Amino acid sequence: MGKKVAFVLSGCGVKDGSEIHEAVAALIALDRAGYEVVFTAPDVQQTATVDHSTEKSEAQARNALKEGARIARGDIKSLSDLRPEDYDAVLFPGGFGAALTLCSFASDGPECSVNAEVESLLSDALQSGKPIAAMCIAPVILARTIPGARLTIGSHPETADAVNSMGAVHVNCAVNDCVVDKERKLVTTPAYMLAAGPAEVYEGAVSMVEKLGELF
């Protein structure tokens, strides 16, 4: 079997969970490169629920783990049950769930907090020297938790400034490329922060996965 990647989901859908195009692009790139994917998510209520056909908020509460199971085809593990031996690397697709449920960047900006289980996962990965990848807006989680992290969210000025204000180092990046922090074993790509469609998202995901493999 190949290396195992903990694939951290935050729900299902760009407005309140994991961005589906990004998740699928990363999954295909990982599968073609020979990785085994271990789907995981915190077993918590999503911070928001959005009707994607109207973009209006809904009162109905949804669970990030149960919603993420839609993308995982049911085979998903609660983040609280994930053990160090279960994975060799970590990957976060984007989507507003990353900035709503996995951390509070969407509401609190640079002063955001990170879900305790997500923070513990990142701490364990860093201490063990396991590579970490993130797409789209998800790199703000790394900016909040990893001092000095070199990363990208593309080129959006306000978000880049927020990343820098958290003590990270933002690097502008083309949609089909990625930014690597060799010291901390991080790789990030802009995805839908810049992409005009799924083909560009996939190009960035392939670049990210290729560089991920160089960090082991």
Q: What separation, in Å, do the N-terminal and C-terminal C-alpha atoms of the chain show?
A: 16
- Helix, strand, coil content of the chain in percent (nearest 5): 40, 20, 40
Block residue for tokens 């005009």: 196
Residues 101 and 94: their CA atoms lie apart, in Å, by: 12
Q: Could you tell me the sign of the dihedral formed by the alpha carbons of 37, 126, 12, 158, in that order?
A: negative
d(CA 48, CA 110): 19
**Active-site residue (options: 112, 136, 173, 178):** 136
Is 136 designated active site? yes
- The encoded tokens of residue 32 equal 């073609």
Q: Yes or no: say if 151 and 186 are a contact pair by the CB < 8 Å rule.
A: yes
Please say whether the beta carbons of 41 and 8 come within 8 A.
yes
Do residues 114 and 142 lie in contact, with contact meaning Cβ atoms separated by under 8 Å?
A: no
Q: Do 192 and 201 touch, CB atoms closer than 8 A?
A: yes
Q: State both tokens at 80.
A: 């609280």
Show which residues are catalytic: 136
